[in-house]
Amino acid sequence: MSRLVPHPLMSATLLLAWLLLTRFSVGMALLGAAVALIAGLAMAPLGMPAVRIRNWTKVIRLLGIVSVDVVRSNIAVVRLILSGPDACAARASFLELDMSLRDRHALTVLAVIITSTPGTTWVEYDPESGRLMLHVLDLIDAAYLTRQIHERYEALLLEIFE
């Protein structure tokens, strides 16, 4: 099975996304399955190991936390934008964090979380030192945000992937 579907989680996710974005029919399901299988086979020569989820309950918890954080960030960014350009420029800053994460999949998920949260952008990551640089639109307390990222995201990602 692993030769035919070397990346089952990626293939299943791709098929699910395909079915959600198209009208459901048998033909679309078959085409989506073919695309998902071909994409999984195309990933095999890249030498990327298949994703191994160690704790599915933590995945669900992380999804809930991220969903709430994205909604809160959307509200905060809207308020900031409506308060005028001076408010945005006053507290925009770069933040450097020392990360314990080393797994490529976990880092990819963290990059997606940070980038999809309004007001934060993943700028740079140094794999040798584990140093992550972010740009934050409204940085009020650097120590608090650092603690939040470590406790809310990094800790769960460590339990999920490593």
Q: Give yes or no: residues 24 and 98 share one domain.
A: no
In a domain, 137, yes or no: yes
How many whole angstroms separate alpha carbon 68 and alpha carbon 70?
6
Q: Give yes or no: residues 74 and 113 share one domain.
A: yes
Per this entry, what is the length of the chain?
162
Predicted confidence at residue 23, as pLDDT, reads: 86
pTM: 0.79
Listed range (3-7, 61-65, 99-103) with the worst mean pLDDT: 3-7
Q: Which residue has the higher pLDDT, 52 or 135?
A: 135
Q: Give yes or no: residues 19 and 69 share one domain.
A: no
Q: Give yes or no: residues 87 and 140 share one domain.
A: yes
C-alpha closest to that of 73 among 111, 115, 133, 122: 115
Predicted confidence at residue 152, as pLDDT, reads: 95
Which residue range forms the structural domain that includes residue 13? 8-46
Q: Which long-range contacts (CB under 8 A, 24 or more apart) does 51-60 make?
A: 51/7, 51/9, 51/10, 51/105, 51/161, 52/161, 53/9, 53/160, 53/161, 54/159, 54/160, 54/161, 54/162, 55/159, 55/160, 58/156, 58/159, 58/160, 59/160
The pLDDT of 28-51, averaged and rounded, is: 84
Predicted confidence at residue 2, as pLDDT, reads: 67
In a domain, 3, yes or no: no
- Residues 52-96 have pLDDT tens digits of 889 989 999 999 999 999 999 999 989 888 887 776 666 889 999
Q: Give yes or no: residues 77 and 124 share one domain.
A: yes
Q: Say if residue 127's pLDDT is above 90.
A: yes
Q: Give yes or no: residues 36 and 99 share one domain.
A: no
